């Protein structure tokens, strides 16, 4: 409830006093679907152009969960491969130490 009232308040503020070159509005009285338009600023490559954005909260949350899970899997794979690499190096060192004959030093 607190989140909804805050979003309503911020949308009213954006309607009353939008930042220069930007506007934001609701889609069909749904707070979880927003649209925005940003006009390209002067002396930028985007001057005279505009960009439109659509925000759909349920879709955004679903995509965010998918990307987070995918990143976690990739990070896990990297960790597993690094661990296997370390174990392989350790095995090689142990094998070299076993094969190494003791040296006798005569002084």
| Containing structural domain, residue 74 | 2-99
Distance of alpha carbon 69 from alpha carbon 71, whole angstroms: 5
| pTM of the complete model | 0.46
pLDDT in tens, 61-90: 788 788 787 777 776 677 767 777 777 777
Counted domains in the chain: 1
Is residue 47 a part of any domain in this protein?
yes
Is residue 61 a part of any domain in this protein?
yes
Q: Is 43 helix (H, G, I), strand (E, B) or coil?
A: coil
CB 63 within 8 A of CB 55: no
What percent of the chain has pLDDT above 90?
Answer: 0
Is residue 77 a part of any domain in this protein?
yes
Is residue 106 a part of any domain in this protein?
no
């Amino acid at each position: 409830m607190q989140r909804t009232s805050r979003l309503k308040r911020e949308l009213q503020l954006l309607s009353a006093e939008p930042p220069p070159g930007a506007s934001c509005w609701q889609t069909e009285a749904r707070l979880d679907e927003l649209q925005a338009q940003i006009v390209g600023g002067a002396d930028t490559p985007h001057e005279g152009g505009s960009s439109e954005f659509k925000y759909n909260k349920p879709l955004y949350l679903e995509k965010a969960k998918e990307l987070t899970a995918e990143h976690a899997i990739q990070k896990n794979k990297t960790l597993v491969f690094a661990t296997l690499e370390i174990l392989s190096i350790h095995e090689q060192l142990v094998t070299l130490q076993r094969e190494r004959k003791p040296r006798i030093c005569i002084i």
